[in-house]
Amino acid sequence: MSNQLIILVFAILTLISAVLGEIVSFDKCDGDEGKCNIHEVRVDPCNEAPEGKPCKMKRGKSATIAVDYTPQFSSDSLYSRAYWENGLVDLPLLDMDTDGCKTTTCPIAEGNRQTYTYDLKLSRAFPTGIYPVKWRLTGENDDDQCCFKFKIQLK
């Protein structure tokens, strides 16, 4: 193989990796009623995912969150919101577009596997540290939701 071909293959693989993100460890939310099956959560950037560590992210930058899910409910709309789960109350991440239909297929159809993708802006105002993030995708009925948690480390 020529050096140019090797470089081209490496560049393509790097691009594919960046687009897909890293598969991260996640947990279901407490009190999850089984209204949704979360198949996979991907975060880009997250070089720490293979070691099961929180994704290191820089304030002032963006991170792409993608989740493959199968809802056990139907809905014409989808409300999406990320929260910092601090143990007392879930604090919503501000300046987030909560119209989930902009980044997944609507209407939501029960039993159809879908992908939700969101480009999360990480404000410079966020303090540094390790944070559990809770992400909810909620249908028209508040009981109809997909919810998962993962950890990030803001730098």
Q: Write the CATH number for 116.
A: 2.60.40.770
Burial class (CB in 10 A: 0-12, 13-18, 19+), 36: buried
25 assigned to some structural domain: yes
pLDDT in tens, 8-56: 444 344 344 444 579 999 999 987 777 999 999 999 999 999 999 999 9
12 assigned to some structural domain: no
- Structural domain range at position 95: 21-154
Alpha carbons 22 and 105: distance in angstroms, whole number: 22
- How many domains are contained in the chain? 1
Alpha carbons 15 and 117: distance in angstroms, whole number: 17
pLDDT in tens, 91-147: 998 889 999 999 999 999 999 999 999 999 998 988 899 999 999 999 999 999 999
10 assigned to some structural domain: no
56 assigned to some structural domain: yes
pLDDT in tens, 53-72: 999 999 999 999 999 999 99
The model's pTM is 0.82
11 assigned to some structural domain: no
